[in-house]
Structure 1
Amino acid sequence: MYTWLHVLDWRATSDPNVLAVSDDREQLTYRQLQDRVEKTAASWYGLGVRAEDVVAVISHNTVEFLVQTLGLMRLGAVPLLVNWRMTGHEIDRLLEIATPVGIFADESCRSGVDNRDDLIRVVDGPGGDGWNAVVGIAGPAAPYPHNRLRSDQVAFLIHSSGTTGLPKVIPLDHGSLIRGLAGFAIDIGDQQRGSRHLVMMPLFHLAGFAQAMQCFLTGGTLFIQDGFDIDRVIDTVAHDGINFFTAAPTIIEMLVDALEGARLGADLSSLREVQYGAAPIESALLERALRVVCSRFRQIYGSTELQGFLSVLRPEDHVPGSDRLASAGQISQGWEARIVDHSGRTQPDGQAGELWVRSENVIREYWRNAEETEAAFTDDGWYRTGDMAILDEDRFLRIVGRTKDMIISGGENVYPAEIERALLEHPAVVDVAVVARPHPKWGETPVAFVVCAANAVPAEGELARHCRERLAGFKCPSSIEHIEELPRNALGKVRKVELRERLVVSSS
């Protein structure tokens, strides 16, 4: 029996007066956080929610988001963390899959689910029109769901970002996330009682939620921000003595730009380490970041289905100019990984193929979706990640694309990541994404969407020549499209589906 509720009970007993969490509106010690979680469980129980019921949580990053999520866990219910950026139609489609009995929403998100008067509804704001206000609900203590509060039980649900199509609901259990984060904390070494963590990644994503849970696991204090504002991040680090935060490389670059420009001289000396994911960090950016941000960077690679991190590129491997910067680090403890060809045969070291993984931490199934589960897992328990990757002899992992992103042009396999890296070597290119365009003769050809630095647009044909000097002919983009900004999801990953749709529209 070891769950996130046991972690909270432990902290409330051993560190009752330590500040647990803070946002713009309130601060709670670990004892106060536990008390609020108990009251929240009682409130939902009084409204009719029972153990194993699903309740959707649709909210921006706040203390109340965590209180509601942990309160539902305490009741034995299953919180579904919903991306509030979705449209009402998309949310309805997700709720049809998850079949919740209730919804918690903050005031800014309630309009997207105002039509769901068939569900129990609680709002962090004024009640009325079928909504119960958080502050207006009270009730006796909820019964303790012993059968639900076990390490192997589902703790909460997260849905896929939609990058690859229809949403998939992913059940995460208590034990897997605790094991993974405990191992990660041991590897970091100095995340300890009283450490200060800043979370700005969305809490509805595992990247944000896991950071919050790791802070609680190690007895730290969590400072919550809703989204990324460069000046606010710098001011918070300086004023509150932040030691750790997680960000995508694009955000790190914005931070570096500010610290070399308008915020030159800002005091970030409290920072011990910055963790990042979604993509490798470019050598030139790392060199600048080591100079003005902090001395330790750590890359993490994983996915929601893995319930944590598969590989880590540790600080000692963050050496400007090193080939290892292009990797996602070494495979972590407790994981088996193999690279396979299209027939499932293991590839030798250094050869690209699909990454398959196996571990006790991988989810067992998609929520009520036997078809997707069967497609994702082999009979002997390997999970097909869908990532195209290379493993070297030292077990460093390099992600080269997605299986669906791989372009087959004239019978040759073309990996978008290779073209993207080549284009990023041009001094005018600051961002790039490559997708496939159907071709009547070759089957597919690569098309590059390129973002150039202000006032640095290359001459016509210059980028094409740049590619021809670095890539085989069949790998060179058949077209290079200039774009002001690449579409990205909340984790900073490029939404290539939107770029493919743009090609379809332009061709029609």
Structure 2
Amino acid sequence: MTGFTSFPPDRADAYREAGYWTGEPLDQILRSAAAQWPDHPAVVDERSSLTYAELDRCADAAAAGLLARGIGDGQSVLVQLPNSCQFAVALFALLRAGALPVMCLPGHRDAELAHFLDVSGATGIIVGTGPGFDYSAMAERLLDRANQLRHIIVDGDAGPHISWSQLCAGDGHPPQRHPDTNTPALLLVSGGTTGAPKLIPRTHDDYVYNATASARLCQLTHSDVYLVALPAGHNFPLACPGLLGAMTVGATVVFGTDPSPEAAFATIARHGVTATALVPALARLWAQACAWEDQRPTSLRLLQVGGAKLAADDARHIRSELTPGLQQVFGMAEGLLCYTRIGDPDEVVEHTQGKPLAEDDEVRIVDDAGIAVPDGESGELLVRGPYTINGYFRAEAQNQRSFTPDGFYRSGDKVRRFANGYLEVTGRVKDVILRAGETVSALDLESHLLTHPAVSAAAAVGLPDPYLGEKICAVIVFRGNAVSLSDLNDHLNARGVAVHCRPDMIAPMPALPTTAVGKVDKRAIVAQLCP
């Protein structure tokens, strides 16, 4: 496949021999679950539920419907659906039609989706409907661009477009496929750490291992009920172990649409949820809410927290007020996953972000010169292994910067490793803001801010926030009169910038401070704003 960097043959052979890769396509997860637990609830949302057998049949019917409309057979399709049973149906249907799903997030807007279309060459997009935003209208705007998009599929009122419910209404069966499992099964979306978000090709082999091994480490069983509280297209709730990992053991997956404590606690109580994943800001809020909410999540035995570093004090509070079953998770959609283990000592759970999932995860921690640092010292994390990508999709220039000549991924995260192999996140190398678990590229946001006619210079920085982790501050040098935050965000909205990338505050400055070599000094900016 053009633009895909495969695993080198020697490493691929080693991973097969070691048993990491089984040669099963990703959709086999559902096939196997339907054969073993046909009548067990597979997916549940606010309006419907499907057993494993029903989900299997729905995925087949939808795949046949896609193929009948010429969608499949190596084509890329953007998926931007809310958390629902139909998300699972669409994912497996695309896999069975031989298409390549591009896992977009509900907050992505025209700018990001247009970029994904350009890079992936997608011919179709599947969108949902929801309050506050017209996804169908956005998809129509994308049709006007010079790209290959031809099919708009809508789960809801489809208007002139393809109705998802009608597409799924038949009883057809797609032809059995036997894909090369060392080729991409789907494309995840990066946080856009150095510009526009990149597409992350996850192969059948590596993603099946990602989900299966994560479920095994988390000790998920057929009796568990997993709540998808974060957007399902994220790697974390999708396969760490998430939706896919839960399905490897026949557990039930509940799709939540409102992660607020009031709504989530009610969902947990109604379905007997035993496991879920949150970002630190939500985990802190849930723990605090235990003091005032009538319903408490008493069935919750495993709470994974990741997406940003969780402070030790917050970890202790969560374990005391919410659930003792806290698991810290540090990872990336590009591959490496680190978990604290069930039964780890308190000190480990509260002060580290876990250790790698696989024995063959190769970790290097290096200084600015690329020299390995001893355990206990902080440095940049480099990694390669059986489920870490070897290159972004169709991003040759970025790959030159992000991967070493011998195939290690430069994560941009700064960590220190302890003698027991566990890691503590100490910072980051890349210029990003971690807002409510989303990674926001400062460079990309700055480029959008500079298109406003009133903006002469701009710097985007993250400032500490007790609820978001970091809030986005737009530091602006105005050409004349300052504009308001709402005016600036209206401009970004008109440019189609993702919701989670918009500033939370503006800090006007007469000039941006610079370093001795003339670069914007963001450390000085933060020190000035947070004395």
TM-score range, shorter chain: 0.7 to 0.9
Q: Which residue of 2 aligns with 1:492?
A: none
Aligned-pair CA distance for 1:92: 1.4
Q: Is it true that 1:350 corresponds to 2:350 in the alignment?
A: no
Q: Is it true that 1:449 corresponds to 2:463 in the alignment?
A: yes
Q: Which residue of 2 aligns with 1:278?
A: 307
CA distance in 1 between partners of 2:137 and 2:289 (Å):
36
2:245 match: secondary structure: helix
1:367-401, CA deviations, whole angstroms, 9 ceiling, x for partnerless residues?
Answer: 11111122211121211111112112222212111
What is the one-letter code of the residue matched to 2:367?
D
Query: In the alignment, which of 165, 168, 175 is matched to residue 195 of structure 2?
Result: 165
Q: Which residue of 2 aligns with 1:332?
A: 357
What is the one-letter code of the residue matched to 1:327?
T
Identify unmatched segments of 5+ residues in structure 1. Answer: 407-415, 418-432, 437-445, 454-482, 488-494
CA distance in 2 between partners of 1:316 and 1:194 (Å):
20
Report the CA distance shift for 1:28/1:452 in structure 2 as closer, same or farther (over 3 A): closer
Aligned-pair CA distance for 1:281: 3.0
Q: Which residue of 2 aligns with 1:204?
A: 233
Report the CA distance shift for 1:452/1:257 in structure 2 as closer, same or farther (over 3 A): closer
CA contact (8 A) 2:316 2:350 kept: no
CA distance in 2 between partners of 1:128 and 1:452 (Å):
43
CA contact (8 A) 1:164 1:497 kept: no
Q: Which residue of 2 aligns with 1:71?
A: 93
Aligned-pair CA distance for 1:143: 2.2
CA distance in 2 between partners of 1:350 and 1:496 (Å):
34
CA contact (8 A) 2:218 2:342 kept: no
Report the CA distance shift for 1:217/1:505 in structure 2 as closer, same or farther (over 3 A): farther
CA contact (8 A) 1:75 1:144 kept: no
Report the CA distance shift for 1:7/1:353 in structure 2 as closer, same or farther (over 3 A): same
CA distance in 1 between partners of 2:314 and 2:111 (Å):
40
What is the one-letter code of the residue matched to 1:76?
G
2:269 match: secondary structure: helix
Q: Is it true that 1:145 corresponds to 2:177 in the alignment?
A: yes
Q: Which residue of 2 aligns with 1:99?
A: 121
1:162 match: secondary structure: coil
TM-score of the two chains, using structure 2 as the length reference:
0.74
Aligned-pair CA distance for 1:186: 2.3
1:384-434, CA deviations, whole angstroms, 9 ceiling, x for partnerless residues?
Answer: 11111211222221211111359xxxxxxxxx99xxxxxxxxxxxxxxx9x
CA distance in 1 between partners of 2:351 and 2:323 (Å):
20
Report the CA distance shift for 1:134/1:297 in structure 2 as closer, same or farther (over 3 A): same
Q: Which residue of 1 aligns with 2:251?
A: 220
CA distance in 2 between partners of 1:113 and 1:5 (Å):
27
1:299 match: secondary structure: strand
2:27 match: secondary structure: helix
Q: Which residue of 2 aligns with 1:123?
A: 154
CA contact (8 A) 1:69 1:79 kept: yes
Aligned-pair CA distance for 1:215: 1.0
CA distance in 2 between partners of 1:372 and 1:6 (Å):
33
Q: Which residue of 2 aligns with 1:260?
A: 291
What is the one-letter code of the residue matched to 2:419?
E
Q: Is it true that 1:366 corresponds to 2:380 in the alignment?
A: no
Aligned-pair CA distance for 1:229: 2.1
2:182 match: secondary structure: coil
What is the one-letter code of the residue matched to 1:144?
Q
Q: Which residue of 2 aligns with 1:480?
A: none
Report the CA distance shift for 1:399/1:259 in structure 2 as closer, same or farther (over 3 A): same
1:153-201, CA deviations, whole angstroms, 9 ceiling, x for partnerless residues?
Answer: 3111112223542121111112212213322222222x11131111111
Alignment of 1:109-508 (within 5 A): 109-117=135-143, 118-129=149-160, 131-137=161-167, 138=170, 140-146=172-178, 148=179, 150-189=180-219, 191-210=220-239, 211-261=242-292, 263-264=293-294, 266-306=295-335, 309=337, 311-317=338-344, 319=346, 322=347, 325-333=350-358, 334-405=360-431, 449-451=463-465, 502=506, 507=511
CA distance in 2 between partners of 1:326 and 1:240 (Å):
32
Q: Is it true that 1:14 corresponds to 2:36 in the alignment?
A: yes
What is the one-letter code of the residue matched to 1:142?
P
CA distance in 1 between partners of 2:158 and 2:230 (Å):
28
Aligned-pair CA distance for 1:24: 1.1
CA contact (8 A) 2:327 2:349 kept: no
Q: Which has the higher contact order (CA 8 A, sep 6+)?
A: 2
What is the one-letter code of the residue matched to 2:269?
A
Aligned-pair CA distance for 1:291: 2.9
Report the CA distance shift for 1:503/1:318 in structure 2 as closer, same or farther (over 3 A): farther
What is the one-letter code of the residue matched to 1:93?
H
What is the one-letter code of the residue matched to 2:198?
K
Report the CA distance shift for 1:448/1:367 in structure 2 as closer, same or farther (over 3 A): closer
2:376 match: secondary structure: coil
Aligned-pair CA distance for 1:497: 9.6
1:10-36, CA deviations, whole angstroms, 9 ceiling, x for partnerless residues?
Answer: 111111000000001210000000000
1:463-495, CA deviations, whole angstroms, 9 ceiling, x for partnerless residues?
Answer: xxxxxxxxxxxxxxxxxxxx9xxx9xxxxxxx8
Query: In the alignment, which of 52, 67, 79 is matched to residue 30 of structure 1?
Result: 52
Matched pairs, number: 426
CA distance in 2 between partners of 1:496 and 1:295 (Å):
33
CA contact (8 A) 1:280 1:326 kept: no
Report the CA distance shift for 1:234/1:447 in structure 2 as closer, same or farther (over 3 A): closer
- Which portions of structure 1, spanning 4 or more consecutive aligned residues, are displaced by more than 4 angstroms? 450-453, 495-499, 501-506
CA distance in 2 between partners of 1:96 and 1:59 (Å):
20
CA distance in 1 between partners of 2:309 and 2:466 (Å):
19
1:121 match: secondary structure: strand
CA distance in 2 between partners of 1:204 and 1:181 (Å):
14
CA contact (8 A) 2:74 2:100 kept: yes
CA distance in 2 between partners of 1:452 and 1:71 (Å):
41
Q: Which residue of 2 aligns with 1:80?
A: 102
Larger CA deviation: 85-94 vs 74-83 = 85-94
Report the CA distance shift for 1:507/1:370 in structure 2 as closer, same or farther (over 3 A): same
CA distance in 1 between partners of 2:308 and 2:129 (Å):
34
CA distance in 2 between partners of 1:174 and 1:448 (Å):
36
CA distance in 2 between partners of 1:267 and 1:447 (Å):
36
Report the CA distance shift for 1:267/1:119 in structure 2 as closer, same or farther (over 3 A): same
CA contact (8 A) 2:188 2:235 kept: yes
1:208-233, CA deviations, whole angstroms, 9 ceiling, x for partnerless residues?
Answer: 21101011111100000124121111
Report the CA distance shift for 1:6/1:367 in structure 2 as closer, same or farther (over 3 A): same
CA distance in 1 between partners of 2:328 and 2:27 (Å):
29
Aligned-pair CA distance for 1:503: 5.5
Report the CA distance shift for 1:90/1:340 in structure 2 as closer, same or farther (over 3 A): same
Identify unmatched segments of 5+ residues in structure 2. Answer: 1-22, 144-148, 435-439, 444-459, 468-484, 490-499, 513-531
2:201 match: secondary structure: strand
What is the one-letter code of the residue matched to 2:202?
L
Larger CA deviation: 77-86 vs 19-28 = 77-86
1:89-147, CA deviations, whole angstroms, 9 ceiling, x for partnerless residues?
Answer: 33212211111011111124222111244511211123332x1112223484322222x
